[in-house]
Amino acid sequence: MTNIFHDQSAQALPISYILTFTLSVGLLVIVIISYQVMVAGTSKQAMRVSYADIGNDVAGTIADIYLTASAGSTGNVTRTIRIPTEVAGEGYIIEPSDSPFTTEYNPNEAIKISAEHANVVVYVPLSNIDQSIDVSGKAYSGAGELKVEYDINKTITLS
């Protein structure tokens, strides 16, 4: 057997394999750790963005129904919208809430979307409807759809 540490023929293959393998494993470990840190840091932010999108859709639906009903409608108006059952693997709740940005000039409610286990809450203001309209109800994402109902008594119900 030849001495590979004093080989002058530039063919010390076992050492190059060991060095290449060690560098590759080190690089792979760095990439995996970096990915885990990146995913853990952005999942709540991604949930907030998704909840804001869903909330804007619900608030827009409520405004559409309100405008349709206030244009002289004498019956009930119902609209069903499809919503995702989960966001980032978590179910969520859609409900009306007192707006955290309530002021003298903005007394309306907001749509609150929250995930209990992820501790994420997003508020979307209902600024296009009259403050005398009562918005009530609660909807869970597991159904995959949200029903918005406006009745003649000026109430909007989420279910």
Instruction: State if pTM tops 0.75.
Output: no
Nearest to 48 by CA among 96, 83, 90, 80: 90
Query: Which of 3-12, 76-85, 116-125 is predicted with the least confidence, judged by mean pLDDT?
Result: 3-12
Relative to beta strand 155-158, strand 134-137 is: parallel
pLDDT at 30: 92
DSSP state of 90: B
Of 73-77, 117-121, 124-128, minimum mean pLDDT range: 73-77
- Residue 48 is classified by DSSP as H
Count the helix, strand and coil residues of the chain and give each as a percent rounded to the nearest 5.
40, 30, 35
Q: With pLDDT > 70 as the criterion, what percentage of the chain qualifies?
A: 79
Tens digit of each residue's pLDDT (9 = 90 or more) over 24-50:
999 999 999 888 777 666 677 788 888
